[in-house]
Amino acid sequence: MSENSDSKERIIQLRELLNYHNYRYYVLSEPEISDFEYDMLMKELVVLEELHPELYDENSPSQRVGNDINKEFKQVTHKYPMLSLSNTYSLEELRDFEIRNKKIVDEKYSYACELKYDGVSISISYKKGMFIRAVTRGDGEKGDDVTHNVKTIRSIPLKLHGNDFPPEFEIRGEILLPHEGFKRMNDERIDAGEVPFANPRNAASGTLKMQNSALVAKRPLDCFFYGLSGENLPFTSHYKNLNKCKEWGFKISPHIRLCKSIDEVFGFIRYWEEERINLPFDIDGIVIKIDSYEHQKSLGFTAKSPRWATAFKFKAEQAETKLISVDFQVGRTGAVTPVANLTPVQLAGTTVKRASLHNADQIALHDIRINDSVFIEKGGEIIPKVVGVNKSKRPTDSQPFEYIDNCPECGTRLVRYEGEAKHYCPNESGCPPQIKGKLIHFVSRKAMDIGLADATVNQLYEQGLLKNIADFYLLKKEQLIGLDRFAEKSAENLVASIENSKKVPFQSVLYALGIRYVGETVAKVLAKEFRSIEKLRNASVEQLTGVHEIGERIAHSIVEFFSSDENAALVNRLTEFGLQMEAEQTIPQGDILAGKSVIISGVFKKYSREEIKQLIEENGGKNVSSISSKTDFLVAGENIGPSKLEKANIIGLSIISEDEFLNMIGLL
């Protein structure tokens, strides 16, 4: 296989992997890997995408931030997008951050340094000094309206002090649980026989998404604010504006510091790397922002983060404890994950009893054995993992660890596919956790968008009402009433949601089928190319690999899926139930841009960025994300990124306005 093909396969794999971990982290609050591991995967993806601009995908995880949207809350579009921060674990990379910025801003500037709170981001709107709305970060463009819950947090002002605040503005902050309140909550849960929260961040996130604001009010949430957005702000300095916010009644950390040089920033980082253990709440790093708004504007943004800010993350803490036993968990795809059961040990403010062992290779690499004294680490202070063994403490009668041969859930012989690190249970239709995983995936927001919690899906499965994904369309209100979480109204709502899912477009149905390696992006490509389930199910490996972005592994997986009699019958049932098994027909606009590579930048007046991109595709052109010698022209809106403009001018790239573009394709 060529180097380009290998890169394409790896990019697709990384996109699917990162999308999966985004969902585990932001939606389920059940992350499986550490922040550090996630960041390394993201960095690898960004580098590969930069090397292969022809594989650009606007839906790539590198083009967006994570998602904490919950269907039970109303979604609100952010007036000012809540982008994520780039991050680093290295002071050398932080020095590179300054070098890059000084190439654009050659004036002297200061840095505002802030603690990076380990909580839940929130954006609150104020009008005429009154609290209007609170919205979670969501996917950066939209978030959940959690106004009623946030109003219960006593450190957040509902009416501002003074009268010198802007008529309208948004303020960003981090909602968190201080250690004392977190311990009190967990003590109460243990006394009540309930499972304690894993850590303060998860507890804060779960509390914010509760449906009963009266219960939220009983929990000791707090909030620190760190950013102001809007017109007519008091100062052009971020630091001065935050201090002004104190006068209006906002809780601003006393630990913010204005640093005159990058060396002062390093000193601030080193101080808090040691001192953070004495804080009454969790932090996982330091946020560094260029203070001047004018300089921030000059530096601009990348697709997912501001160039004028970054986060330095502290290295993970480690602890040593004893490995008692190993459990094996089976996921939706049949992947088996070994999990270590440990003698409880304190690590990063929580008691750790279990940690990931990843796969058989990692166990062999570290020669991990039962009764070993092992080192565990919380990368990003979220998910513990075993990272090594203290062999000096190994018992003399120690025996090498033997990985299981059969599925712990259904007893089927495990397999290991070529190029895969994990073992898999191949019993897709008879292994309970795989069945439940497929059911949960099917109803998810990006699939069939049926409003069901994981626990409810599990209940319906345990009650024998669901054996496969087609069974959702047989559910009746009468079967649901009387089950946990179901009264008459909730049963009616679920049946209506299932019926409404029949309108979900073909590409989402294709994603919902859960075909291995067919994530959201691949499903979109397949739907666009083959247009119907019939054409796709009859496609050969050669036809599939002839499609841009479809490699041999994906192609073989698709052919294998449709060659199964059981899957064929399942698809037939879904078709009979009325799901969308064909893509909507689109009317070609023309081919005036055929063979042209076009890049867009800036804000447009007549059409949105997405609409401009769609017009480019409908007229035969190709959207690209970065300027190169192969780019034909740039469509420029207002506030075009300075780096793109500079590069376009350097290589002599043709730059046209929105009106010129619309005239070119016959819309003006």
Side chain identity at residue 234, one-letter code:
P
Task: Give kind and range of the element (H or E) at residue 318.
Answer: strand 318-330
By 3-state DSSP, what share of the chain in percent is helix, strand and coil, each rounded to 5? 40, 20, 40
Residue 191, judged by CB atoms within 10 A of its CB (0-12, 13-18, 19+), counts as exposed
Question: Both tokens of residue 240?
Answer: 């001065």
Residue partners of 555: CB distance under 8 A and separation at least 6? 541, 544, 545
Q: Hey, what are 435's tokens?
A: 């069945």
Pairing of strands 318-330, 622-623: unpaired
Strand partners, 607: none
Instruction: In whole angstroms, give the CA distance from residue 47 to residue 194.
Output: 45
Judge whether 528 counts as a catalytic residue. no
Instruction: Report the alpha-carbon distance of residue 515 to residue 546 in Å, rounded.
Output: 19
How far is it, in rounded angstroms, from Cα 58 to Cα 611? 13
SS3 170: strand
Nearest to 502 by CA among 586, 587, 573: 573
CA 489 – CA 483 distance, rounded (Å): 13
Q: Which of 8, 116, 244, 644 is catalytic?
A: 116
Q: Which amino acid is at 74?
A: K
Phi, psi of 338 (to 5 degrees): -80, 135
Fill in the DSSP letter of residue 594: T
Return all residues near 279 (Cβ < 8 A) that are at least 6 apart: 115
Burial of 469 (0-12, 13-18, 19+ CB in 10 A): buried
Strands 597-601 and 423-424, by their bridges, are unpaired
Contacts of 112 (CB under 8 A, 6+ apart): 238, 239, 242, 256, 257, 258, 259, 288, 289, 290, 291
CA distance 98 to 120: 28
3-state secondary structure 560-599: HHHHCHHHHHHHHHHHHCCCCCECCCCCCCCCCCCCCEEE
Tokens coding 506: 């073909």
Beta-carbon count within 10 A of 601 CB: 21
Q: CA 15, CA 55: separation in Å to the nearest integer? A: 12
SS3 of 10-53: the string is HHHHHHHHHHHHHHHHHHCCCCCCCHHHHHHHHHHHHHHHHHCH
Sheet strand arrangement including 257-259:
87-88, 309-313, 283-290, 111-117, 257-259
Task: Output the six-digit token pair for 467.
Answer: 């054996």
Residues 199 and 203: their CA atoms lie apart, in Å, by 6
Q: Report the 10 Å Cβ neighbour count for 254.
A: 8
Catalytic residues, which ones? 116
